Amino acid sequence: MAIGPVQLIVLGFRHPDFHGRIIEELERLRESDTVRVIDSLAVYKDAAGDLEVMHLSNLSQDEAIELGSKIGALIGLGFEGVEGMEAGAEAGAEAAAEGATVFSEEEAWDVLADIPNDSAAALLLIEHHWAVPLRDAVAEAHGFRINDAFISPLDLVEIGLLSNDEAKDQHLLETASASRR
């Protein structure tokens, strides 16, 4: 299994009104081999500040075991060289086989404190599988990633990709929930 570039996205939701559309879209992207959700943590904080947490991943059991071995190998390589890589790969595969996830409730507490009451957040660890051939082509040309970021629709006006009205509509779409109380 080739691993594509992996991105962590943290999304906030004011007064969440979920109907499964986000999960449906992530499943559609998985079916088209565009992205995979390696791990995710959905958190709802009620008006009193009490939390509900749910995990989601659309990796198969075999993919989770293989990915766990890759993550474990990377961690082990950094600490103990080749021997650590082999031990880390084995430990990561075993942890994935036992249902371990990248995000745990304990590890998410830093982010959870920032979630306002009566809102929700989603932490998504997404593999951009579509980017594997592009990444490989860049590597073959001796290229490397320097930086990456999402660009605001308002910034796209400056380079002529959107009109002012289109950018305002997209910006409102992206930020409307954050401004509602």
The three-class DSSP label of residue 79 is helix
Q: What is the pLDDT of residue 110?
A: 59
Both structure tokens of 79? 């600490």
Q: Which of 80-89, 119-128, 149-158 has the highest mean pLDDT?
A: 119-128
Q: What is the pLDDT of residue 63?
A: 65
Mean pLDDT of 49-65: 70
Both structure tokens of 37? 């959700």
Both structure tokens of 5? 């570039």
> With the C-alpha atoms ordered 161, 128, 111, 14, is the resulting torsion angle positive or negative?
positive
CA distances, 66 to each of 59, 114, 175 (Å): 10, 33, 37
Q: Which of 13-17, 51-55, 160-164 has the highest mean pLDDT?
A: 160-164
Sheet of 6-14: strand order equals 6-14, 119-128, 35-45, 51-55
Q: What is the pLDDT of residue 111?
A: 65
